Amino acid sequence: MSRILPIVLCGGSGTRLWPLSRKTLPKQFAPLLGDKSLLQLTLERLRLLSTDVMCVAAEEHRFLVQETTQAAGVGGSQLLEPSARNTAAAMAAAALLAEPGQLLLFAPADHHIPDPDKLAATVRSGVAAAQAGYIVTFGVVPTFPSAGYGYIRQGAPLEGSAGEQGARRVDAFLEKPAADRAAQMILAGGHFWNAGIFLVQAQVLLSALAQHAPDILESCRRATARPTRDGDFIRMDRAAFESCRSQSIDYAVLEKSEQVAVVPFEGVWSDVGSWNAVAALHPCDEQHNRISGNGFAIDATRTFIHAPTRPVVALGTRDLLIVDTPDALLVAHSDNAEQVKDAVSLLTTRGRSQATRHRRVPRPWGAYDSVDDGERFAVKRLTVKPGAKLALRMHHHRAEHWVVVKGAAQVLCDGTATLVRENESIYIPPGTVYQLGNPGKTVLEIIEVQTGGYLGEDDVVRFEEGSEPDSTQAAAQRLIA
């Protein structure tokens, strides 16, 4: 069996799952099922095929992906997109960086497939067709006439060994149909939901792009001509990649190519595209209520509650979706689940930050949570990973007061290193060159109180290694040591 390299496509904004999914934390990174994100579940599934995985992700999400790959127990690299350009460009860039004969399995990061063994077996059954020069897609056997999914209509079986495992030619890709048309297709048989999972040799995909979307291929070829590598991160040329037009692989290649095959997948699958879909992933009680977290339903029917932190009580409700987060609450009728994106648009036009940003912001060293803010003050909770440190920095307009609530902090202030223990505090005046580090083996937690006339996140000067004063550099070395 040829080695398969899974490539996880981590793009997408996921506005239909607001307020949990936002631009800074799209649905693939949000903990939708227990404490695991859809990306982590995807990586754990693909681990059955390979522990070496490439993720194609936005530059701003690179640390979220890095954190998740570590939690999932997989290694590999991240191909960073300077801007979103849809699946055709993402797949083209990944294929250009692979060996020509490498089998690439492209999979979305935000789908739910609870039977990883069945998926792995289905993917392996498509290897012969992929090696024979086909782009192999995996069609989900439909369980109901959905008008929300695209469909694949199968054609004749492939010839020879390529068709031994049930692979057939794709006769057509069909747009999302009306409900009655979807019912007709299911009754007719031979139609599958399009899950957007593809197995293909790198050279086969590149040849198809050269034939059907040469402009996309050329832009990506220029973007990947001289990639830069920083640890696990692979960066492309920004200008070249951003010159690429945005189009899905379905429209750019698959609907035009005659070398596309389909292998049926008979397992459970969901694209988790709405809060109704999320609700369906949870068990229901006798009144058909579904609860995630700290939700309570009293005399309620067909109500979904997502309450990861504080208690949320639904009393006498019917057919509601209730989604709670620390800084925004959604209450919607289940019939209006597809209109959540309109709420995001409204909040965006009103200039509300909750439309796109969460309170908690991940950073390579850990995260910060904006607890409270007002005139001339802001309160944050910092968590710093064991052995991690913030970059050496300075603020012009704000002072910072830190109280260590868990662990011990090593703090560098204008060349003087200090160890600040639990229940101790330290004051960082404006204009101080400072650095925070966690020398311990557990997570460091700090309550930070900012004061001053301007508290914007852009009031920061970060120093590159070697650019700070000699005394500060020497103390920084002692701090790191």
- For residue 395, the domain's CATH number is 2.60.120.10
Do 87 and 223 belong together in one domain?
A: yes
Burial of 352 (0-12, 13-18, 19+ CB in 10 A): middle
290 with 208, same domain? no
List, for residues 54-97, the tens digit of each pLDDT value. 999 999 899 899 989 999 999 999 999 999 999 999 999 999 99
299-335 as b/e: b if 16+ CB within 10 A: ebbbbbbbbbeeebebeebeebbbbbbeebebebebe
Nearest to 101 by CA among 136, 123, 133: 133
Q: Residue 272 domain-assigned?
A: no
Q: Are 303 and 320 in contact (CB under 8 A)?
A: yes
CATH of the domain at 251: 3.90.550.10
More confident residue, 23 or 344: 344
Tell me how many helices (H) and strands (E) the chain has: 13, 26
Shared domain for 342 and 207, answered yes or no, is no
The whole-model pTM stands at: 0.85
Length of the chain: 481
Q: Are residues 342 and 407 in the same domain?
A: no
Through-space distance between the first and last CA atoms of the chain, rounded to whole angstroms: 47
Q: For residue 163, what pLDDT is reported?
A: 67
Instruction: Give yes or no: residues 252 and 337 share one domain.
Output: no
Residues 429 and 476 in one domain: yes
Q: Look at residues 233, 265, 297 and tell me which one is the last residue of a structural domain.
A: 265
**Residue 277 located in a structural domain:** no
Residue 456 — pLDDT band, cuts 50, 70, 90? confident
273 within domain boundaries? no
Same domain, 64 and 198: yes
Question: How confident is residue 465, by pLDDT bands cut at 50, 70 and 90?
Answer: low
Q: What is the mean pLDDT of residues 427-434?
A: 96
Residue 465 lies in a domain: yes
pLDDT of residue 464: 66
Residue 180 lies in a domain: yes
* Mean pLDDT across 394-423: 95
Q: Give the pLDDT confidence of 223-266 residue by residue, as tens digits.
A: 999 999 988 999 999 999 999 999 999 999 999 999 999 999 99
Of 349, 373, 403, which closes a domain?
349
Statement to judge: residues 297 and 373 lie in one domain? no
pLDDT at 24: 85
**Domain extent for 467:** 360-480
Pair 144, 60 in one domain: yes
**Residue 44 and residue 167 in one domain:** yes
Q: How far is C-alpha 363 from the chain's CA centre?
A: 15
In a shared domain, residues 344 and 365: no
For residue 178, how far is the Cα from the chain centroid? 30
Residue 187 domain-assigned? yes
Q: Tokens at residue 432, please?
A: 């101080």
The proportion of the chain whose per-residue pLDDT surpasses 90, expressed as a percent, equals: 78
Tell me the C-alpha distance between 22 and 14, whole Å.
7
Q: What does the pLDDT look like over 127-153, one tens digit per residue? A: 999 999 999 999 999 988 888 889 999
Give the number of other Cβ atoms within 10 Å of residue 94's Cβ. Answer: 25
- Has residue 383 been placed in a domain? yes
CB 202 within 8 A of CB 194: no
Look at residues 305, 322, 349 and tell me which one is the last residue of a structural domain: 349
Alpha-carbon gap, residue 449 to 372, rounded angstroms: 9
User: Which 8-state DSSP code applies to residue 79?
Assistant: E
Q: Is 276 contained in some domain?
A: no
Q: Within this chain, do residues 299 and 379 fall inside the same structural domain, yes or no?
A: no
Question: How many domains, in total, are found in the chain?
Answer: 3
Mean of per-residue pLDDT scores for the chain: 91
Evaluate whether 95 touches 208 at the Cβ level (below 8 Å). no
